[in-house]
Amino acid sequence: MSRNHRLLVKNAKQVVLICNNGEKFLTRHGMNNLSVIENASVVVGSDGLIKAVGPAETISARFSESSFDNVIDAAGMCVLPGLVDAHTHPVWAGDRVHEFAMKLAGATYMEVHRAGGGIHYTVERTRAAAASDLLASLRSRLQRMQRAGTTLVECKSGYGLELQTELKMLEVIEEASRSLPISISSTYCGAHAVPKGKTVAEATEDVLQVQLPRLKELMSAGRLKVQNIDVFCEQGVFDLDSTRAVLLAGKEMGLNINFHGDELHPMNAAKMGADLGALAISHLEEVTDEGIVAMAKSKTAAVLLPTTAYILRLPQPRARDMLEAGVIVALGSDFNPNAYCCSMPVVMHLACVNMRMSMTEALAAATINAAYALSRSDTHGSLEVNKHGDLLILNATRWEHLIYQLGGHQELIRYVVIRGNIV
């Protein structure tokens, strides 16, 4: 008999669709009213896209089991959409375990940075690393993320701070994307720090006159795919004016604006980004009231990173204020040598406990809204017909176990499926 479907997941105790009306994002009310069905099944076609999702009896009446390459009996289990990690820095050499000890002893992030550590430490090692070594470590980090349920991840460059290494990083990201099932949204972040020995003006000039023009050439020739532009807008790093100039230049090249703002000091970066039509702004621990209002109005996603505030003992991002104001709140792991976390379930747990989000808000923030922040919510972030067949199957009768359990997710997440294939 001809098999024309890739995967049937049948009889799940719960299937969490997230939304089912083609919404591109959810805000407060929607985030608290996720679409969940009981005793349900999901069908993924041979193209890796969802063909049907609904009550188990309806699906079994419509599809013969013999038409599937693979059938998973999910009785007593829960199905959720694959998780989306909206912010990571996963390409780098060396680690900074010694700095973790310094920070525990009281050093601040900027003290370590100004002393030549932090991003500078990683830049030196990443510049010296062979592309093949960067690729090997990136692949193993992405596989860890996949095992923890991430099926779409944003990956930044930004540990080169000069053309050659920034391109090396972006090429490594593209190579990983070709060779792993996980989907990737790639971000150029050449303005992640001011290189040692340069002024802010010189670093901005290098990004505008050297790095971006070459990136544009490679993108136009189809030799490199990049989707987003990022800058670390911060006191002592890139100020508002230089950040705006870089973001605008990226926007003119067709990149989505998705940058670091208002992390350590209130700079009104959120307002500036919203005015530029940013798709997303990350961190926002020090966001201003004006910034919150502007982001809600411009539909700019707030990508909150609970690991950063936790590790650096910063004030928590004002998730509740942003949700009340109607901001599109998303989550990311911020995986980097400072915040070594590959797990979106841990991120959701921290968002609930430390940022006072509800579990449904955290799940929406780590699925549909994170996909929106990457301009991918037409294909990712919910279990809807024609979206990617990316899902998690949990060995639990209630989906909330994914957030309730802190760590040890290998036991809980029974299967991770990307485009209908178990990975």
CA distance 351 to 373: 17
Q: Which of 122, 300, 360, 382 binds ligand NIG (CB under 6 A)?
A: 122
Pair type for strands 5-18 and 301-304: unpaired
Asked if 166 is part of the footprint of ligand NIG (rule: CB under 6 A), the reply reads no
**Sequence-ordered list of residues with C-beta below 8 angstroms from that of 82, at least 6 positions apart, any chain:** 149, 150, 151, 152, 367, 380, 388, 390, 391, 392, 416, 417, 418
Stretch that binds Fe ion, among 128-136, 163-171, 310-318, 332-340 (CB under 5 A): 332-340
Tell me whether residue 44 or residue 370 sits nearer to ligand NIG (CB atom).
370
For residue 103 the two structure tokens come to: 């920070």
CA distance 230 to 356: 28
Minimum gap (Å) between residue 280 Cβ and ligand NIG: 13
Q: Which of 10, 89, 103, 141 binds ligand NIG (CB under 6 A)?
A: 89
Tell me which residues in 210-239 interact with ligand NIG (CB under 6 A): 232
| Residue 338 interacting partner from ligand NIG, Fe ion, none (CB closer than 5 to 8 Å by kind) | ligand NIG
Tell me whether residue 171 or residue 230 sits nearer to Fe ion (CB atom).
230
Q: Which of 81, 82, 118, 195 binds ligand NIG (CB under 6 A)?
A: 118
- Radius of gyration of the chain measured on its C-alpha atoms: 21
| Residue 308 interacting partner from Fe ion, ligand NIG, none (CB closer than 5 to 8 Å by kind) | ligand NIG
CA distance 311 to 46: 43
CA distance 46 to 54: 19
Stretch that binds Fe ion, among 28-36, 146-154, 327-335, 342-350 (CB under 5 A): 327-335
Give me the DSSP letters along 254-310.
TPEEEEEESSSS---HHHHHHHTT-SEEEE-TT--HHHHHHHHHHT-EEEE-HHHHH
**Which one, of 325, 259, 337, lies nearest residue 293 by Cα?**
325
Give me the DSSP letters along 86-114.
--B----SS--HHHHHHHHTT--HHHHHH
CA distance 313 to 54: 44
Asked if 119 is part of the footprint of ligand NIG (rule: CB under 6 A), the reply reads yes
| Residue 119 interacting partner from ligand NIG, Fe ion, none (CB closer than 5 to 8 Å by kind) | ligand NIG
Tell me whether residue 135 or residue 189 sits nearer to Fe ion (CB atom).
189
Helices (H), 148-239: 163-179, 200-206, 212-220
| Residue 390 interacting partner from Fe ion, ligand NIG, none (CB closer than 5 to 8 Å by kind) | none
Minimum gap (Å) between residue 192 Cβ and ligand NIG: 6
Tell me whether residue 68 or residue 159 sits nearer to Fe ion (CB atom).
159
| Residue 141 interacting partner from ligand NIG, Fe ion, none (CB closer than 5 to 8 Å by kind) | none
| Residue 23 interacting partner from ligand NIG, Fe ion, none (CB closer than 5 to 8 Å by kind) | none
**160, 169 Cβ separation under 8 angstroms:** yes
Tokens 């700079």 belong to 267
Tell me whether residue 53 or residue 295 sits nearer to ligand NIG (CB atom).
295
Minimum gap (Å) between residue 331 Cβ and Fe ion: 13
| Residue 232 interacting partner from ligand NIG, Fe ion, none (CB closer than 5 to 8 Å by kind) | ligand NIG
Q: Which of 10, 51, 216, 260 binds ligand NIG (CB under 6 A)?
A: 260
| Residue 263 interacting partner from ligand NIG, Fe ion, none (CB closer than 5 to 8 Å by kind) | ligand NIG
**Which one, of 182, 106, 105, lies nearest residue 141 by Cα?**
182
Q: Minimal CB distance to Fe ion: which residue? A: 334
Q: Which of 23, 206, 263, 361 binds ligand NIG (CB under 6 A)?
A: 263
| Residue 118 interacting partner from Fe ion, ligand NIG, none (CB closer than 5 to 8 Å by kind) | ligand NIG
CA distance 96 to 292: 33
Tell me which residues in 285-344 interact with ligand NIG (CB under 6 A): 308, 334, 336-339
- Residues 287-326: x/- map of binding to Fe ion (CB under 5 A)? ----------------------------------------
Q: Between the CA of residue 215 and those of 144, 164, 229, what are the distances in Å?
A: 29, 11, 11
- Residue 21 DSSP class: S
Tell me whether residue 171 or residue 334 sits nearer to Fe ion (CB atom).
334
Q: Which residue ranges make up the site for Fe ion (CB under 5 A)?
A: 334
Q: Which residue ranges make up the site for ligand NIG (CB under 6 A)?
A: 89, 118-119, 122, 232, 260, 263, 308, 334, 336-339
